[in-house]
Structure 1
Amino acid sequence: MELHRATSLAALMAVLLSGCAHQVPATVPEVASGFLKGYLSRETLPNSKLLLPPPPAKDSAAFTADEAAYRSTRSLKDTPRWALAIQDAELKFPEVTAAFSCAVNAPLTPDATPRLYMLLRRSATDAGLAMNAAKDNYKRPRPFMEFNETSCTPADEPSLRRNGSYPSGHTGIGWAWALILAEVAPDRTDPILYRGYTYGQSRVVCGVHWQSDVEAGRVVAAGVVARLHADPVFEADLTAAKREIAAAREKQLLPTRDCTAEAAAMAIHK
């Protein structure tokens, strides 16, 4: 990998997947310090620049809709939905996988479900990096930049300013996980997909992504998951993950979040 590509990769992963501190098996190398290698090579990742149209132009109806979506969420500040958006902004492992614990109705941890946890880490890298081509090409400014306002995560704003808004990497990771987890626990498909949807919408609530960024992130994520199914290592991990969830249910292991509070927050819409 060329030096400038390695630098770009490290910068992107620092935004998308910061703080992966957990130990990983020696058989799974890292793409940068603390960042676990995905299943797909750079050559086999879906190309987001080819998959997506350009982001909406400022004189378009689509951009007017983006502005309206952003404005409609400003009244959510200091509500439980705002707090959930802050929580959803966290991409540090192992905390991040808890976002889907209630939806799956099981703990998604390195101790309770180690193969599933590893699958989520590796697929997150694939989903995150698949956004790179479009992000680098369009370099779209984020809503909090456009309006010179504060997002729900002010400490993240310096790094977010250096990383294009279109498509949404957080959304891509969350939607890829939702599609995968719906296969792991098909009886929980509706709550899992709904959580994947609200996970992406949290980026609009937070003020760090436009609605069209979020929708584009879901498109690329679907392409990533489709491509992952052609990878035999992913398929083996998926099979193992299904067994782990079945075992966790036999043991009646509980989710690692307050599911009542999470459901109440997700029910708040704007």
Structure 2
Amino acid sequence: MEPIYQFATPQSIKNQKAEQSNQTAKEQQPDAQHTCNKAACERQHKGASTLLTLALVLLCSVALQTAALAQTAMVFDGGKKSAKENKSDVAIRSLDDITFPAADFKRGAYLKLRTVYLHVPVSKFKLKPFPANSSAETRAELDFLLYLQKTRNAEAINRTETMAAVYYDPLTTNPTDADYTRNLNSLFYIGRDLGLWFNPEKLPVTAQVLQHVIQDATYYIFSLKNDYNRPRPYQLDSRLENLEAPGHASYPSGHSSTSHVHAYILGHIFPEYQDHFLGVASDMAFSRETRGVHYPSDSEAGKEFARQFVHELMKSPKFRTDLEAMKAEIARVRAANQLTKK
């Protein structure tokens, strides 16, 4: 008995079984009756084989077409999903590709400053990377800045205007420069509550030491800004109405960094007032957020940089010597300006 083909149709199976039954019946008849013409038998066998072959080809063809349609449907559906994902990915990628525009960077000279006390690589200062532009953290920061923008009034704006002018430019060293006095006085802002005597005229040694300190800090701050190249908040959200447009990247905050450097140094001289100095520095940092030009994480990074910077500063023999001279001058001038008790 011949085997039934795996891909035979129901009809071909029925025909084959009928043929097998006929063959059995013929075998039970006398030899003379079931002897057939050789040519006729070959044609009969060839016809049956052809039918089975055609059935097999047809079934294979249907199976291949079904598989092809399924594959096509899968690719089409996947393509639609991929297109959606790609569109979202492109949007996120585009947002994360935004950096501070190189054409707007106006402080390239700071990257070439010579340091006085510190001679360590920029990589010495370890700041954690800022949140990605597309992250939930950055979105929360932007929403906070929008809230500050909504709630700031004229008084707050005027206050931040005053604080915006408190910064020291190491390149403004000519006494005849119109900005020289403002520039030098900025070095004494954090400690101004110590008294009217705390000023560059009465404390020339202190002024010189602080000039050197902030020159060093400025080099490292702007090197870090250049490395991180974080865009300003208003470059990510057009709803932010920034009150100024600084010519350098956002991270870390320069105002926060230098203010906290002053606070840590003055806190070393007046440990009893350290919390006060740090509070003034925090106010300075917050004013930059109110103005819409810094994220809160920029302010935190500035404080962390200042902590590490002063820690390194204390390792410098030259700074330690100058710090002692600064402390002696401050003690002398402070004592001379104290009210006498009667």
TM normalised by structure 1 equals 0.71
The code of the aligned residue for 2:141 comes to: D
**Structure 1 residue 76: Cα displacement:** 1.8
Residue pairs, 1:99-110, within 5 angstroms: 99-110=189-200
Which one-letter code corresponds to 1:211 in the other structure?
P
Q: Which residue of 1 aligns with 2:162?
A: 87
After TM superposition, give the deviation of residue 111 of structure 1 in Å. Answer: 1.7
1:76 aligns with 2:76: no
Deviations 1:40-73 (A, max 9, x none): 12xx15527x612221113323213311331232
SS at match of 1:131: helix
1:223-234 paired onto structure 2 within 5 Å: 223-234=308-319
In the alignment, structure 1 residue 125 sits paired with structure 2 residue 231: no
What's the counterpart of residue 38 of structure 1?
116
Counterparts of 2:263 and 2:109, CA distance in 1: 22
The answer as to whether partners of 1:184 and 1:241 remain within 8 angstroms in 2 is no
- Check whether the contact 2:197–2:334 (CA below 8 A) recurs between aligned residues: no
- 1:9 to partner: Cα distance: 10
Structure 1 match to 2:242: 151
Task: Determine which of 180, 196, 213 is the counterpart of 2:298.
Answer: 213
The aligned amino acid for 1:164 is: A
**Larger C-alpha radius of gyration, 1 or 2?**
2
Q: Which amino acid aligns with 2:300?
A: E
SS of residue paired to 1:134: helix
Cα 1:109–1:215 shift into 2, 3 Å? same
Q: Kindly provide the amino acid, as one letter, of the partner of residue 189 in structure 1.
A: Q
Q: Are 1:57 and 2:154 an aligned pair?
A: no
**Pairing 1:194–2:279 present:** yes
Deviations 1:204-250 (A, max 9, x none): 11211111111111111111100000111111121122222222221
What secondary structure, in the 3-state scheme, does the structure 2 residue paired with 1:94 have? helix
Could you say which structure has the greater relative contact order, defined with CA pairs below 8 angstroms and 6 or more residues apart?
1
1:97 and 2:173 aligned: no
Shift in Å, 1:166: 0.9
The CA deviation string for residues 129-183 of structure 1, in whole angstroms up to 9 with x for no partner, is 222343223321112333344433x3xx2xx2x4111111221111111100111
* Contact 2:133–2:236 (Cα < 8 Å) also in 1: no
Contact 2:285 2:299 in 1 (8 A): yes
Work out whether residues 191 and 277 of structure 2, in 8 Å CA contact, stay in contact via their aligned partners in 1.
no
Taking structure 1 as reference, are residues 225 and 106 closer, same or farther at Cα in structure 2, changes over 3 Å only? farther
Query: Are residues 1:112 and 2:202 paired?
Result: yes
Separation in 2, partners of 1:190, 1:13: 30
Corresponding residue for 1:28? none
Identical residues among aligned pairs (%): 26
Q: Runs of 5+ in structure 1 lacking a partner?
A: 1-7, 15-30, 255-270
Query: Which structure has more helix as a fraction of its residues?
Result: 2
Closer/same/farther in 2, CA of residues 107 and 146 from structure 1, 3 Å limit: farther
Aligned length: 218
